[in-house]
Chain A
Amino acid sequence: MAIQIVMDRTGDSRHSFNPHDVQELAKAERRFHELTNAGFTAAVRTGHGEISQIRSFDPAAEETLFFPRLVGG
């Protein structure tokens, strides 16, 4: 199972999906685009604590984290 983690005021919301299920994968891709279009940044872990931003849906990513747009304080 893969997971999309969306930061929110409860800590986070988690959406698991089976990457081998076409319908679930399509739903996850839709969610990815909805969130990134709304200004969220998507990030994945690539190695020992290394993180990279992704700008297109990665069906192979086991865990994708989304956080809202940044603003100055």
Chain B
Amino acid sequence: MFSFRPLSPGARSRIKAARALFIRHGAESTPEGRSLLLLRKWLSPAQREQFARRGYFEVVGSESGKRYRIHVGASVNVCEIDERGRPREGLCFMPIGALPIGDVMLAQKISLETCEGKVRAVARRFTPNGFYFRQARPLG
């Protein structure tokens, strides 16, 4: 009754383009989507790839050279990591106001990369564990 004919390469690419357009439109129509687009635009190429693959990205502190990992989230989502990539100390800080997740993560990245000392002065410390950094799916 029904037969499935294989799509031509042209049709396949049109469908792919339409799908990408729908996804992009959906992303731009919500605060979270807009903030994630902005975040991706301001990440370095290496951070963008890491975020897409692993759901977090790493930054280097401007003063100490320490490495920090920023996970998806608006609080308790940043930790200092050691040379083997293991969490050492959690830092909880965020910009004031109810900003969407991508904006919070971008503000955290810029702050650590440009004024690490100020961040460490205001951040609340916590002991990092798997509970804080569970990742459902990469958003990058």
Give me the interface of A with B, judged by CB distance under 8 Å: 5, 7-12, 39, 41, 43, 45, 48-53, 65, 67-73
Give me the interface of B with A, judged by CB distance under 8 Å: 30-35, 38, 42-47, 75-76, 92-100, 102-103, 106-107, 109-111, 113-115, 118-119, 122-124
| A68 CA / B96 CA spacing, docked (Å) | 6
| A20 CA / B99 CA spacing, docked (Å) | 32
Contact of B113 among A51, A67, A71 (CB under 8 A): A51
CB proximity of A67 to chain B, nearest CB, Å: 4
- Asked if residues B110 and A11 are in contact (CB atoms below 8 Å), the reply is no
- Asked if residues B95 and A51 are in contact (CB atoms below 8 Å), the reply is no
| A41 CA / B112 CA spacing, docked (Å) | 13
| A11 CA / B107 CA spacing, docked (Å) | 12
Given A67-B106, A73-B124; 14 other pairs, CB 8 A cutoff: A8-B99, A11-B33, A43-B110, A49-B43, A51-B42, A51-B109, A65-B42, A67-B95, A67-B99, A68-B99, A71-B93, A71-B95, A72-B124, A73-B94
Query: Given the known A-B contacts A69-B95, A72-B92, are A10 and B122 also in contact in the complex, defined by CB atoms under 8 Å?
Result: no
Closest residue to A5 on the B side, CB-wise?
B38
| A61 CA / B35 CA spacing, docked (Å) | 21
Contact of B92 among A8, A11, A51, A73 (CB under 8 A): A73
**A68 cross-chain contacts in B, Cβ below 8 A:** 95-97, 99, 107
- Asked if residues A12 and B94 are in contact (CB atoms below 8 Å), the reply is no
| A35 CA / B15 CA spacing, docked (Å) | 44
**B103 cross-chain contacts in A, Cβ below 8 A:** 7, 11-12, 67
Q: List 28 A-B contacts (CB under 8 A).
A: A7-B35, A7-B97, A7-B103, A7-B106, A7-B107, A8-B99, A9-B98, A9-B99, A9-B100, A10-B31, A11-B30, A11-B33, A43-B110, A45-B42, A48-B44, A49-B42, A49-B43, A49-B46, A50-B44, A51-B42, A51-B113, A65-B38, A68-B97, A69-B96, A70-B111, A71-B94, A71-B95, A72-B124
